[in-house]
Structure 1
Amino acid sequence: MSDHLLMLEGLAATYNHAIRALSHVSLTVRRGEIVALLGANGAGKSTTLKAISNLLHAERGQLTHGRVVFDGRDTAALTSADLVRLGLVPVLEGRHCFRALNVEENLVAGGIGGGLSRGEIAAGLERIYTLFPRLKQRRRSASGLTSGGEQQMTVIGRALMSRPRLLVLDEPSMGLAPLVVETIFSTLKRLNREEGLSILVAEQNSTVALRYADSAAVLEGGSMALSGDAADLRGRPEIKALYLGSPEESAAHLAALRGPSPADHAAA
């Protein structure tokens, strides 16, 4: 059995067969690893995650080159529902809970989607309430009337009810208070450490993502800019510049991160 649970091999993608969104994106997630996918808004993070989950078509997107391999299987012929049943479960950006359903009904829906029995769903609910005690207090509340943090916990809990082997999260910190973000990321780290859950998380918040991830990759303009060990990238001023600097500053810092090119060595 390969150590690689997920492999992206040279992905290229467009929208409406015209707008280039990704070019030559390659990435690996090993079993039991947390990988952070970093990049500014519009860098291609969400497109990459939708390509992984076979959800590009829902937004008129197309994978034009490369392939996605999950647990040794090329996913091209699989549906997003097939992938969930195989253990690749996405949590999309925007806290997409079923707003008219209460919190517990949302969680139960995740168990049903994962094909769990009634007893397994009951056990799953207790597990989620242990991980997120706030959800137990709010389990009878309509999800649309809960706070942003509670909604994010609900959609993550719903995904966990499907018993994923790879959890794919898109911007889980967006719009949330720092304390809530820490709660969510520390819970994910606990699941990774205690249960071996593999996690791929796309984030603009590089500070928190790099603290909890094992490895990281940076996208810029739909292409892979760099990748490496999270501990090596954490705290580097160049990473901050990618999000806050001007395009010229970002390009200069990317060049610094990548190091001298072969042409530079030849010139020297």
Structure 2
Amino acid sequence: MSGPNSNEKESDMTEADILLTVEDVKATYNHAIRALDGVSLTLKRGEIVALLGANGAGKTTALKAVSNLLPAERGQIVAGRIRFGELDVAAVSPDALVRAGLVQVLEGRHCFRSLTVEENLVSGGIGRSAKRGEIAADLERIYTWFPRLKEKRRLAAGLTSGGEQQMTAIGRALMSRPRLLVLDEPSMGLAPLAVQDIFRTLRRLNREEGLSILVAEQNSAVALTYADKAVILENGISVLSGYARDLKSRDDIKALYLGQKPSAAVLAAY
């Protein structure tokens, strides 16, 4: 992974290994408000990468840039480049990116609240023009990963718990058969047990099916527990990247970049 203080050399990766590359991306809103000022990251096939930082660090903007959703919000990339496989993301429409395998789950547990859980899931299969038999098979696959959704499949999504709505949103994205699943703050507003359940399932999907995942999170503890690597953003800049297990063990990083209370040892060092 590239970036300041990275502990993986770029030479360790071949071009065939790399699924997503973000190169020194700068972005604005309304051609005036600078939101990203130099974000870089590399995600290999079959890898979980966490994008971390305090509120306002630029995580959501970075994910929208990756999915080419910035233009819908009067945003624009003004420098840098993003590639998904062989595709130049800026030159491909968001719906075409979904068909190519880049699927985002937006912040806020977006579901069709009046539709049942199963109808929400089916909509994900329809979005990729799947046949009825394919949708039926994929539904059973989703219910294997998220058994609670099978129990609630006939219930309106708006009447389910926050955790179940997040599972529904993720399940709908999985119905699109992504190669890269992009998640924005999946833990937001959820009980700790629901967060653990969701992240365990994501890691199983990654390990057992090879699903690549890019996840933006304020909950650095859970993200660093389940991710392979992490990139830390501060004021729209990627300031640090490395193996998640290494970053998780460093109190100085938690205090300086992740908004966590510093230990006595860290306070003594400054």
Normalising by structure 1, what TM-score? 0.90
1:194 aligned counterpart, secondary structure:
helix
1:106 aligned counterpart, secondary structure:
helix
State the number of aligned residues: 249
Paired residue for 1:152?
A: 166
- The code of the aligned residue for 2:259 comes to L
Residues 52 and 258 of structure 2 are in contact (CA less than 8 Å); yes or no, is this contact kept in structure 1?
A: no
- The code of the aligned residue for 2:56 comes to G
Match of 2:195 among 172, 177, 181: 181
Task: Supply the distance in 2 between the matched residues of 1:154 and 1:108 (Cα, whole angstroms).
Answer: 11
TM-fit CA distance, 1:59? 1.4
Paired residue for 1:118?
A: 132
Normalising by structure 2, what TM-score? 0.89
1:181-224 CA-partner distances (Å, limit 9, x unpaired): 11100101001101110000000111110111111000000001
- Structure 1: gaps of 5 or more residues: 257-268
1:37-92 CA-partner distances (Å, limit 9, x unpaired): 00011000000000000111121111111111001221221110000000000000
Match of 1:43 among 57, 69, 72: 57
CA RMSD of aligned residues (A): 1.4
Query: Mean alpha-carbon deviation: is it higher for 149-158 or for 68-77?
Result: 68-77
1:191 aligns with 2:217: no
Paired residue for 1:9?
A: 23
2:206 aligned counterpart, secondary structure:
helix
1:244 aligns with 2:259: yes
1:230 aligns with 2:232: no
Q: Percent identity?
A: 71
Task: Supply the distance in 1 between the matched residues of 2:160 and 2:104 (Cα, whole angstroms).
Answer: 21
Task: Supply the distance in 2 between the matched residues of 1:81 and 1:149 (Cα, whole angstroms).
Answer: 26
Task: Supply the distance in 2 between the matched residues of 1:73 and 1:58 (Cα, whole angstroms).
Answer: 20
Paired residue for 1:265?
A: none
- The code of the aligned residue for 1:27 comes to L
Structure 1 pair 245/188, CA: closer, same or farther in 2 (3 Å)?
closer
